[in-house]
Structure 1
Amino acid sequence: MRVLITGSKGQVGHCLTEQLRNYTDAQFLALDSKGLDITDQSAVQAVVNEFKPTIIINAAAYTAVDRAEDESDLAYAINRDGAKYLAEAAQSVNAVILHISTDYVFSGDKEGMYTEADLTSPQGIYGESKLAGEKAVIEACSRHIILRTAWVFGEHGNNFVKIMLRLAKTHDTLGIVGDQFGGPTYAGDIASALVTVAKTLSNGDNDKYGIYHYSGFPHVSWSQFAQAIFDEAVQQTVLKQSPVVNSITTADYPTPAKRPANSKLSTTLIKDKFGVNASDWKAALQNIKAYTNI
């Protein structure tokens, strides 16, 4: 298995690199945006021609949800065009592409969990650009996996867990949105899921291409997630005491881009096809000291 990883300095890309270092049956090339600008089609093809991967994992993405409303050209260049160039290059060398997508391709208005068969309806530029990337990958490469995930956090990079721990140092009370629900997803678990999928496909299981959902369980609101973070931090003596968490509404905390009220993703299909369980986000908080310099 020869694996090309893009976005190697992002949350998932970093974890992929660390995990593949310990996997003796894989050769890998991990590149960040400086090592490979995925919006440069000729550069993408040149790297693929030289390395000749059997698997391409695209962990590169434009993820600034609010800024995307003003930087739509950049969001589309990375999330649609970059994904397309990687998929075309994968097709040219008969490789499989694993492409990470998002819950933001949905409107968030559904009751219950979103399945892979549900209609997409993004509510902002970020979601629109990610959906365009999904379509580009599907059209460009017959051997593809689209992995939609949500609420990503990890020890590396910036994320909700780190923000909450920083705020807790200076605030006795915090107002956190309580009417948006989803599954926090540990970046290390996403990486592990991708490696499992890559291994399975490398072993010749060719009937599993398509779109999959992968995220954490149990589902919670942002305010509930914040409280769980603080409770764990207090228990592990990272914090002396938890701030008081006040649940507020989305209307109380306006943002340039609309967030899905419901980001609950069903992970049944990836469990059935690949034996991959939902991310255990509570377990991922058990080493909470790794998320902060406190």
Structure 2
Amino acid sequence: MKFKVLFFLFITLIGFSQTKKVNEEYDYINNYYQYVYQAQYEYLLENYQNAYDLLKTAESNCPLLKQKEINEPAVLAECALRLNKPEEAVHYIEILVRDYGVNFERIKKSPLYKDKNIQNKRYWRKLERKATKYHRSYLKQVDLDLRNEIFKMREEDQEPRINRDSERVKIVDSINDLKLRKIVSDCDCFPDEMFSQFGNSTIDDQFLNFTFFAFHINRDRSQYWKPIFLDLIRRGRAPAEIYGSLVDSNLRINGVYDYAIYNNIGPEQINDFENLDKRRIAVGLPPLQLKKDVQELIKKKYNIK
């Protein structure tokens, strides 16, 4: 398939080396994201060995992330279990519980982990004994004031847009932009559930979806954010889509885009379409056809119309 050729071309072009210098900063754009996107595709096709190998390569290059639509530790846990590596599966479940506050009881109830006869293993029982302690430790890391502030920013962002109050939108966007600058500076990351200080839905049944703020940064303020977003994405400190979202949202006025973030556009609405995938890969996004193929597989897997 075309995207597979692009994937291996990408790996060749970056001159990838698995040997890291001591204290070298991780580069997720060049050494992580593309492996993970390909792994997600293989996983959805139930090619568990391929998915496992690709994720293990990504993990050997950079510490695992837990991106919303991919959930790397969970996929690795399932692949390991299906490949008869139960102890390794528990290792990744432990990462989910310890580092991301995932509810262990919910994992226990999953048919996959009930049917594979893993819950009577010594290492599973050891994790079970630690699960409550892990969850308490996770909760202590969450900055509830910061989490509530972000939800307040979201409400303030939406209210004038719902009421079509354009002047109020400008005021709120300006205020929220200043708040976001401080949050990113203080935390060295973009607000996301990947990072424990922001918490997740196990705390208050609310999902922290903050990436849409990238669509509301106007052209003038985007000049401040572009290098920051790209640096955060490169270091695995932000969702990979925020740079492309920022750029394309400011190109809506022209109707011709650079990164094909929007799903309802054709090649004629994309600048220099032949080099689109090179641009997408350079900012941490998957090739466009791979993105579309994954979306179709997700719809099929979860019966989404």
Normalised by the length of structure 1, the TM-score is 0.25
Q: Which has the higher strand share?
A: 1
Larger Rg: 2
Normalised by the length of structure 2, the TM-score is 0.24
